[in-house]
Amino acid sequence: MRQAIVTGPGKIDFCDLDEPIAGNGQVRIRIQRIGICGSDIHVFHGKHPFVTYPLVQGHEYAA
């Protein structure tokens, strides 16, 4: 599994992670699409007032 991490304004690094294992009462889904919203753009450009880096973005996705 690949993960994108915003490490600073204008900087994105990618890393490989182990596939997560769903626990009892949990499910694992495969993300098919993601969305980028205005707050993501502000974070990327270093203009979001409440962000500390590094940061894994993403709250708009579709399975």
So where are the chain's domains? 2-62
Residues 22-47 have pLDDT tens digits of 999 999 988 888 888 899 999 999 99
Task: Say if residue 62's pLDDT is above 80.
Answer: no
Q: Which residues of 7-25 are buried (b: 16+ CB within 10 A; e: fewer)?
A: eeeeeeeeeeeeeeeeeee
Q: Give pLDDT, residue 57.
A: 87
pLDDT higher than 80, residue 4: yes
Grade residue 49 by pLDDT with cuts at 50, 70 and 90. very high
Q: What is the pTM of this model?
A: 0.75
